[in-house]
Amino acid sequence: MQRIVTRTLAGVLGLGLFCGLSACSTKTNNWKFTDSQGEIRELSDYKGQIVVISFSNTWCDPCKEAAPFMQELQERFGPHGVKVMVVSSWEQGDPQQWMLERGYTYGVMLNGTEVARKYKVDQMPTFLVIGVNGKVIYRHDGFSKRTAAKLTKVIDKHLKKHVGSSYAAHSG
């Protein structure tokens, strides 16, 4: 147990991403990835938007449980400019086919293992919320109903702060 705690703490402190239930202020790296259409994308392509990332894969049971929630985020916040995506990491299956079969419409970025390593991801799923300023404002490892509620609250609050009254009038 001590080894796991030490490894996790070292990874978190190494990137300054200990966000837990509080806000982070870590600037993200501008990493590149391939989207499901085979196009090379950069995180900077989404500058000025809130980006919700789930480091995930098709064989992880908690990741499968989180997938419908990611779709809910897409449907609720996508129309307000929030980019919701899964970064497929340590994948053994076909994430595009898996999402297509289930009707999920949020983004999928392929071959994300290197990006996951840069963020010291050692538990799946791991969620990041990147604010409009390009900084990580929230990180959470694992998934539960409480995770879903907290992520929703963080996104909602950030949208109200940065988009203002036009979002607040449409949110319920």
Residue 86: strand, helix, or coil? strand
**Strand partners of residue 127:** 54, 140
State which residues form the domain around 52. Answer: 2-170
Instruction: Write the CA distances from 24 to 63, 101, 111, integer angstroms.
Output: 23, 35, 26
Q: What is the DSSP letter of 105?
A: -
What CATH number is associated with residue 155? 3.40.30.10
pTM of the model: 0.79
Calpha distance 93→74 (Å, rounded): 23
Q: What is the pLDDT of residue 167?
A: 61
**Strand partners of residue 34:** 40, 110
Provide the number of structural domains found in the chain. Answer: 1
pLDDT digits over 45-96, tens only?
Answer: 888 999 999 999 999 999 999 999 999 999 999 999 999 999 999 988 899 8
Q: What is the pLDDT of residue 163?
A: 75
**Strand partners of residue 153:** none
